[in-house]
Chain A
Amino acid sequence: KAGVTQTPRYLIKTRGQQVTLSCSPISGHRSVSWYQQTPGQGLQFLFEYFSETQRNKGNFPGRFSGRQFSNSRSEMNVSTLELGDSALYLCASSTRWASTDTQYFGPGTRLTVL
């Protein structure tokens, strides 16, 4: 069974631009969660989608948004990029809810904002 895939793996953007990251979950998994990982703040929860609905949301500004498609693939978008958005963005999929089921993480997308 293929694991969680994320594209692109690396991305360089400039301040003010917007970016879209993609996550393909493990086949059969209906929940996709997104996390931001930085050296200073660690791994922080962004949001979770289950069956195309946002089920949970972390404490991030509205510039961070996401969606999930009927095939469970998910995208997250960050608008008006700031230097502080430079981070490793991880997505994780699980059969049902992230808080109760085992999450399988992708390798992440490394975003650098210049």
Chain B
Amino acid sequence: TQLLEQSPQFLSIQEGENLTVYCNSSSVFSSLQWYRQEPGEGPVLLVTVVTGGEVKKLKRLTFQFGDARKDSSLHITAAQPGDTGLYLCAGSSSDKLIFGTGTRLQVFP
């Protein structure tokens, strides 16, 4: 069974701080996606990375796909309360999308 482990599981920080969320697996994925889910809503796609070593930036969010395509990271610079939510990574493999265990982020003003 393919697993995507995310760390940390919970993160509680003050506005303005930086943070990094990790998504790790022993399996290789053809692509990896990051989602954010807010209470009462479904996950919303933030980014898709497909090439080993790829780095993508979305305003204050930086996403990196590992060289071996087994892991990924999400770095948020100067976090804001609006960044609060559940962050999920999801890997594409064997025609399925496998979701990570999730990181719940709380940013306090």
Interface residues of A (CB under 8 A from B): 4, 33, 35, 42-45, 55-56, 58-59, 90, 92, 97-100, 102-108
Contacts and interface: CB of A to CB of B under 8 A. Distances in A.
B42 A92 contact: yes
Interface in B1-48: 1, 31, 40-45, 48
A56 B96 contact: yes
Given A56-B96, A108-B42, A102 B48 contact: yes
Contact of B99 (A4, A43, A106): A43
A105 B43 contact: yes
B97 A107 contact: no
Contacts of A104: 45
B97 A45 contact: yes
A34 to B, nearest CB: 12
Nearest to B101: A42
B42 A102 contact: no
Contacts of B99: 35, 42-45
Contacts of A102: 45, 48
B95 A4 contact: no
B36 to A, nearest CB: 11
Interface residues of B, number: 20
A99 B95 contact: yes
**Closest 7 A/B residue pairs (Cβ):** A105-B42, A43-B99, A99-B92, A99-B95, A42-B101, A105-B43, A90-B42
B55 interface: no
A33 B97 CA distance: 10
A97 B96 CA distance: 9
Given A99-B95, A99-B96, A42 B102 contact: yes
A1 to B, nearest CB: 15
B15 to A, nearest CB: 26
Contact of A45 (B41, B98, B100): B98
Nearest to A3: B42
Residue from B42, B45, B95, B98 having most chain A Cβ neighbours under 10 A: B42
